[in-house]
Structure 1
């Protein structure tokens, strides 16, 4: 029922009011006495939120409704409202046909595997405990969540900023970013700021291709940078003052370099660029790699010494603030970095990038292929990392082979410090796949 980012899928098929009702009942069964519920702009979020609230209340749990709210606003509001859990009704960067449910702890961390399993078991077994007529929960509305979020973001930066910023809200719930930047003194121009769950202006995911209009607009103006969010604003990607879209690896390294001191650790998935290792090594800091998925990065960020975590898709986590990826926090911190240290294009060029090669291999037996391939790779490379697929670190680079979580594909990636070596390492990885396909 759950993927790595909660429950997510087509409305009316996987995601229904009946499912939302059951999840609400199951969440009440965990002992949650007070739960915060918010949604992204998808119209289906209205009835899904109603169903969740009904399931919670009929089992005795009080509900605080935020209405339309960014996912990080929902996650942070759990603690602000002294609640036991939070629910975001969102499919994040998925297409408008989808919706989903993501559950949050008071720390801002998404429900972990054990918590997700507890909810799944209760839903499947319909093991609910209904309240009596005089013990049902209440529902209240809290309309100040966004204002509280803005104030928290301003406090996180502290100094006023003298910048011009373009924010592409993507018809999503990321209005908080524009408000926070304005409160910090920036001149802010918004694109696609009208919430609309059909995402008519561009697809929700903030990729380079989808953000072409933002790139063009920033390049044609005197803006210092551009910010792009997905539908629920847990992701943040950026455009420099020349209109160039920055890769997730570059943003990761910029944030990590700013945050890490000697002895500190940065958490990131197994497919993050080697440039991060090299830059952190210069600061006597290190990288801790996780499975792909911001849930796993957040779990690692709870460990001692981890000061920052991120995923190249645009999920950035500062554990001293919250364990939820907060796209608005990332936006104001990137703006503060530009204000303090100079043009974003120069900062990005200073980080640099290494050549990386990627391909997808179609297969109807990805589990069997990965089992055979993992055995072969670990036989040859005793120190291969199998936390997610199989990753081999070489003196000159690395390669990774892992199964897609959602498609009948095996993904292959390789990176090195020069193009020729990258090709060689990539060929080695592909040869393992070819040898073990049936």
Structure 2
């Protein structure tokens, strides 16, 4: 049986839904129009900052952080319900300061940052004044196995020297991006999972070079964007190391558990919006003597979509509850399962909606194509399906053969 939301979480759910209806959906096309008409798409539409101010004034801000000092003090289970609502729009997460990779980076600062690092970077991120990026993936190695990463982080006196070629650093194109968390090797001869470290690199440090932006199925995701970033003999103070040398995997695991809940619930939100649009379209369009909604084949599509969404939601909420009650390590099988299931369901439902919309579905007149492109990337983000399938199979065998 589903656990009831606390009165606080239920009130936030209601207020968030109303905010989405009043401010987010009507302004999606306005933001995109501004970017289309701008001389440089990598600029911040004033409307975004205006909406952020409204969200902050209504207490719909930093909802993802579980402590009341920095965030709303919600459990993963409670926040998951809110994350689904935000996932219905690609614009929404930033408006509430709940967007990746900033959420994960802020969690890293809260859990592992020094007081100085929190003062310098966490506070302006919490206020929504700056943006950040996370540089882990590399073009020259299979980064689904993070032990393959070849970036070097070498200590020289009171500094570390970083040489790295990274790509898919989300947020790196944003003109407000001021800090990167970079993962690389500090000791190639250490035990396998103690070679990697994470270090803070201010984005204006000499040697940081944004080589190019990386579109996703043709979408540039401006003004946020994704980039290939090279770190060429970049020098930062030794105090910029996070937690200590060899702790990179430890930090990554602490960052990924809740983050995968966020990704999956947003994917479910996207599927819900696609089903909403599908039903409205089917009730309005006529073909061969009746509305599409009156045709059995369309009703079957609607039924399959509802069933899949409910299954994915229940599985994800179960994983969130297990993280809350037993910790991310105990929930690693459930986390891997949702990372496979939720994006697949989202893609299925969005694809069915596109089919019902016909040519309009693959256009930018409706949000379906953009949501499909985003959902497809989730089968790679935080590890491809195959890695998670391997982990689920291994853990299931271990449990069955005890």
TM-score, normalisation: structure 2: 0.22
Q: Which has the higher contact order (CA 8 A, sep 6+)?
A: 2
Bigger proportion of residues as strand: 1
The structure with more helix, counted as a fraction of residues = 2
TM-score, normalised to structure 1's length? 0.20
